[in-house]
Amino acid sequence: MTTSEPAATLDNLLAEDRTFPPPDGFAATANVTAEAYRRATEDPEAYWAEQARRLSWATEWTDVLDWTDAPHARWFVGGELNVAYNCVDRHVESGNGERVAIHWEGEPGDTRTITYAQLQDEVCRTANALTSLGLQAGDRVAIYLPMVPEAVFAMLACARLGLPHSVVFGGFSAEALRTRIADAQAQVVITADGQYRRGSAAPLKSAVDEAVADRDSPVRSVVVVRRTGIDVSWTDKDVWWHDLVDGQSTEHTLQAFPSEHPLFILYTSGTTGKPKGILHTSGGYLTQAAYTHWAVFDLKPETDVYWCTADIGWVTGHSYIVYGPLANGATEVIYEGTPNTPHEGRHWDIVDKYGVSIYYTAPTLIRTFMKWGSEIPGRYRLDSLRVLGSVGEPINPEAWMWYRQTIGRDRCPIVDTWWQTETGAIMISPLPGVTATKPGSAMTPLPGISAAVVNDDGVRVGPGGGGYLVLDRPWPGMLRTIWGDDQRFVDTYWSRFAAQGYYFAGDGAKYDTDGALWLLGRVDDVMNVSGHRISTTEVESALVAHPSVAEAAVVGASDEMTGQGIVAFVILRGDAAAKVQTDGQSGADLVSELRKHVGTQIGPIARPRQIMIVQELPKTRSGKIMRRLLRDVAEHRDLGDVTTLQDSSVMELITTGLASGK
Ligand code: WT7
């Protein structure tokens, strides 16, 4: 959904008056009750200090929050801890070593069960291996792996050693990996020979070979997990994971790091072509990840089986597969593959097989399940489920209702969780034992979190009002800066409402008359495709990098399945344009070549759904591309006022060109 959505749709949404209170009995045993909101409002810092005590600190903090250098926050100042110790060792020490940490399910059907005691051994071995490569606290490690247990071992080993990791999604291209490695100056890359996708083995290491080939690459070593057994080429930087890690000792002496020691960098798209390296640190981040995982999902670590279907390449995987659940001593499922391999009931098969009780997924997948048909989940028991979560984009009320009825069997509360890579952890969400939910609304900020909706001038709007979502108080999991570009951090998030000191989230939002929040999608040039953030500029830059393209404009058009789909308008260079005009086939060939080109430059997720070859682009008199008009074209809407156009005949040219199939 975009903010250009016709008002009628919005009004329909806000007229949603169905509410679903917590099921009978749920509230009575819930981890959090309404009283938490009161306490947190009275004294937020005291509330967060209480939450920080969920963790084991080597040294207690002296100040909960130092905001004197705003917008640069320091949380739990003076405190020291080891993040990996909190996620692993302490559970073994407290007698839960035999508890299953991870039920891992490979796409081909192979499985691995890993207890907390075994996890401790694996993380210690991996930490010793990384030390043997000469890495020291503060050095960066890139992780480019499929959803295999080694991804978790690697992240936790980095955390244990104070090595900030930069996980790069396995679906990103060699070029995307190269720029991320260069930006963070990572010295080591951890990867796999290949990865299983839709039933077959696809190469992965070959992309690393390409990404580290430059003579000036900072990468010294590439550690390779053997996952698929496919052939790989080998260089003298490469070492097999099993050769490096398996022989290492399971003893590893811990070191505590300051609360503000960097934990990871994770790249996300902004409004320019260059992805931003979002920096998260240790104590505050882990506090909020652990607290929200416990509160929002009502986690009972002794009995629940939790499953988050995200990939560790995204922040959801960081906070709700690795750090949150493991800090809480949860038992979780990690599934390697695609949801329709070998059949469209794979997820429900896994839910029944492991007795999954908490299931956390994305609206785009829920809509896909709807398309596949209710009879598929209908064949499974699904009676172990008790809480359902959603994240990544606004969830449409129909999808919400389907999720509740068909998967939750009208029995499970749904938590629609709003947050961002930058916020580190969940910010706005119902609490399953407290909140009466409305289909499509993320409801209210969590206890300890404060948000507001403001107008263009930064003035707060009340119930029924709409505008921009802002966060008006610091929170423990907040990003600390953009790696290597602190000015961009200040400009991007803190300059729009600098006078008020608010964090600008980049999302439109509206309050209904009950004061519940409805998130309305991005207000900047960032698209949301299947819950993944991709900037229009990033795709435009990729297109313009192709020799046949002179100019490109990209918009996100609403898409029934993926939320938004990428639609590109390109103007060709002289030669290419002449060829296309005389020969229809070369136009079609070029379009498919351009789609492939974007896939290689960024990754398959950024491949445009549609590319239209045009002669002109609509621009304002000041030369800015009018994306609103292009979005209207892409969504087949009537064009509104085009009088601010530099040349209003341009739109006619584009639309008639479209009609004639160019
Ligand atoms: C953007 C953040 C948070 C992890 C996954 C995405 C959108 C996310 C919701 C939701 C409406 C949502 C926002 C946000 N978004 N969750 N529950 N309702 N919109 O992380 O890639 O950093 O993207 O995703 O637009 O700004 P991300």
Amino acid 211: pLDDT: 98
pLDDT at 346 over 70: yes
Query: Considering the entire predicted model, what is its pTM?
Result: 0.91
- Containing H/E element for 326? helix 324-327
pLDDT, the chain, mean? 93
Q: Transcribe 22-43 into DSSP letters.
A: PPTTHHHH-S--THHHHHHHH-
Amino acid 421: pLDDT: 97
Whether 361 is in the pocket of ligand 1, judged by its Cβ within 6 Å, is: no
pLDDT at 661 over 50: no
- CA 175 / ligand 1 centre spacing (Å): 25
- CA 530 / ligand 1 centre spacing (Å): 10
Q: Please give the C-alpha separations between residue 282 and each of 256, 367, 424, 535, in angstroms, as whole numbers.
A: 11, 35, 11, 28
| Collapsed DSSP state (helix, strand, coil) of residue 232 | coil
Residue pair 167/204 in contact by the 8 Å Cβ criterion: no
Give the model's confidence band at 660: pLDDT under 50 very low, under 70 low, under 90 confident, else very high.
very low
- Containing H/E element for 161? helix 149-161
Higher-confidence residue of 620 and 611: namely 611
- Residue nearest (by alpha carbon) to ligand 1 atom 1: 420
Mean pLDDT score, 18-34? 95
Tell which atom from ligand 1 comes closest to the C-alpha of 419: 3
Higher-confidence residue of 293 and 626: namely 293
- CA 517 / ligand 1 centre spacing (Å): 14
- CA 391 / ligand 1 centre spacing (Å): 7
Amino acid 389: pLDDT: 98
- Residue 365's nearest CA partner among 340, 386, 341 is 340
Give the model confidence (pLDDT) of 518-537 as tens digits. 999 889 889 999 989 898 98
Mean pLDDT score, 121-136? 98
Q: How far apart are CA 309 and CA 147, in angstroms?
A: 10
pLDDT at 333 over 50: yes
**165 is annotated as contributing to ligand binding:** no
Mean pLDDT score, 363-386? 96
Amino acid 626: pLDDT: 83
- CA 528 / ligand 1 centre spacing (Å): 8
Amino acid 619: pLDDT: 81
pLDDT at 645 over 70: no
pLDDT at 35 over 90: yes
Q: Any idea what the Cα angle at residue 511 is, between residues 509 and 515, rounded to 5°?
A: 145
Residue 193 token pair = 């020979």
pLDDT at 646 over 70: no
Amino acid 642: pLDDT: 55
Q: How far apart are CA 381 and CA 404, in angstroms?
A: 15
| Collapsed DSSP state (helix, strand, coil) of residue 579 | helix
Q: How far apart are CA 45 and CA 562, in angstroms?
A: 39
482, with CB counted inside 10 A (0-12, 13-18, 19+), is buried
Tell which atom from ligand 1 comes closest to the C-alpha of 422: 22
Give the model confidence (pLDDT) of 267-284 as tens digits. 998 887 789 999 999 999
CA 460 from chain centre, in angstroms, equals 28
Give the model confidence (pLDDT) of 75-128 as tens digits. 999 999 999 999 999 999 999 999 999 999 999 999 999 999 999 999 999 999
**200 is annotated as contributing to ligand binding:** yes
pLDDT at 655 over 70: no
Q: Any idea what the Cα angle at residue 334 is, between residues 331 and 338, rounded to 5°?
A: 155
Q: How far apart are CA 523 and CA 468, in angstroms?
A: 8
Residue 150 token pair = 């080694």
Residue pair 520/528 in contact by the 8 Å Cβ criterion: no
Q: Please give the C-alpha separations between residue 38 and each of 33, 153, 193, 284, 301, in angstroms, as whole numbers.
A: 10, 39, 52, 22, 26
Which parts of 336-383 are beta strand (E)? 358-361
- Residue nearest (by alpha carbon) to ligand 1 atom 17: 418
- CA 417 / ligand 1 centre spacing (Å): 8
Q: Are strands 387-391 and 358-361 parallel, antiparallel or unpaired?
A: parallel
To test ligand 1's pocket by mutation, which of 288, 320, 418 has the most ligand atoms within 8 angstroms of CB? Answer: 418
- Residue 53's nearest CA partner among 29, 34, 89, 79 is 79
What value of ipTM does the predicted structure carry? 0.99
**648 is annotated as contributing to ligand binding:** no
Whether 417 is in the pocket of ligand 1, judged by its Cβ within 6 Å, is: yes
pLDDT at 641 over 70: no
Whether 317 is in the pocket of ligand 1, judged by its Cβ within 6 Å, is: no
**294 is annotated as contributing to ligand binding:** no
% of the chain exceeding 70 in pLDDT: 94
Q: How far apart are CA 503 and CA 345, in angstroms?
A: 41
% of the chain exceeding 90 in pLDDT: 84
Max CA separation in the chain (angstroms): 75
Tell which atom from ligand 1 comes closest to the C-alpha of 429: 17
Give the model confidence (pLDDT) of 221-255 as tens digits. 999 999 999 999 999 999 999 999 999 999 999 99
Out of 25-39, 158-172, 372-386, 525-539, least confident range: 525-539
Q: How far apart are CA 284 and CA 477, in angstroms?
A: 5
